């Protein structure tokens, strides 16, 4: 039986990923926030001291996004966003690689965002952290390829989640739908399917940031 190590499994996208892998008979290691507090580097270090299980796939789905105008953004806001979205990915991946806990073949998939490729007002910390995450993914793919460990990111567009509703007005969401060529927000299951493919069925995709946005970023926003 194969094993998945998953962060962010209590979020809506994370829960869909967890369910998808369980249906495919994976053993899923998905610590909750009390077991693994990604906001604290010390807590991450303490968790890693006890992490000694070999896994086939690591999926970093944990994420943090609280939009603020740049003038209202504090240094702590930026640091916290980077800690969860990027630095914890580094810490967990580094531990798995250093201690040979990723099998051959193996995979790492990071949940990024379309804002890892471009940006939007009020998303300074979030966009910067996702750009950093994408850079980590690309460089890690170069270094781990010789171990037959493929490293990729999935960059969702607008997903039908509580976070999307929290960070955008109903009118804005309706406008998104009009500008997405497929005419709808992504379901969390849509993202889980891409993650599963990159983890379980992928033989040759490596170092890529796969955008799953219904066509929005290729020009749908201009329609």
Q: Annotated active-site positions, please?
A: 126
119 close to 76: Cβ distance less than 8 angstroms: no
Candidates 219, 154, 138; CA nearest to 186 is 154
> What is the rounded CA–CA span in Å between residue 163 and residue 89?
21
Find the angle CA(120)-CA(222)-CA(174) to the nearest 5 degrees: 70
3-state secondary structure 128-145: HHHHHHHHHHHHHHHHHH
5 close to 36: Cβ distance less than 8 angstroms: no
> What is the rounded CA–CA span in Å between residue 41 and residue 138?
23
3-state secondary structure of 67: coil
What is the 8-class DSSP label of residue 187? P
38 close to 82: Cβ distance less than 8 angstroms: no
Assigned token pair, 53: 């299980």
Residues 6 or more apart whose CB falls under 8 angstroms from that of 43 comprise: 36, 37
């Amino acid at each position: 039986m194969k094993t998945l190590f998953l962060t962010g499994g209590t979020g809506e996208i994370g829960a869909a990923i967890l369910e998808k892998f369980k249906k495919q008979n994976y053993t899923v290691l998905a610590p909750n926030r009390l077991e693994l507090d990604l906001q604290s580097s010390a807590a991450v270090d303490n968790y890693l001291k006890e992490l000694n299980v070999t896994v086939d796939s690591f999926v970093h789905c944990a994420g943090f996004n609280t939009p603020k105008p740049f003038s209202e953004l504090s240094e702590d806001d930026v640091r916290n966003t980077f800690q969860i979205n990027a630095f914890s990915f580094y810490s967990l991946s580094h531990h798995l690689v250093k201690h040979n806990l990723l099998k051959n073949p193996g995979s790492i998939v990071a949940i990024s965002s379309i804002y890892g490729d471009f940006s939007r007002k009020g998303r300074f910390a979030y966009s910067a952290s996702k750009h950093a995450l994408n850079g980590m993914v690309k460089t890690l793919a170069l270094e781990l390829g010789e171990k037959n460990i493929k490293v990729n990111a999935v960059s969702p567009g607008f997903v039908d989640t509580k976070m999307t509703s929290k960070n955008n007005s109903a009118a804005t969401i309706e406008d998104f739908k009009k500008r997405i060529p497929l005419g709808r927000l992504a379901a969390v299951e849509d993202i889980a399917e891409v993650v599963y493919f990159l983890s379980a069925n992928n033989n040759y995709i490596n170092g890529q940031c796969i955008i799953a946005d219904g066509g929005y970023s290729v020009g749908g926003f201009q329609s």
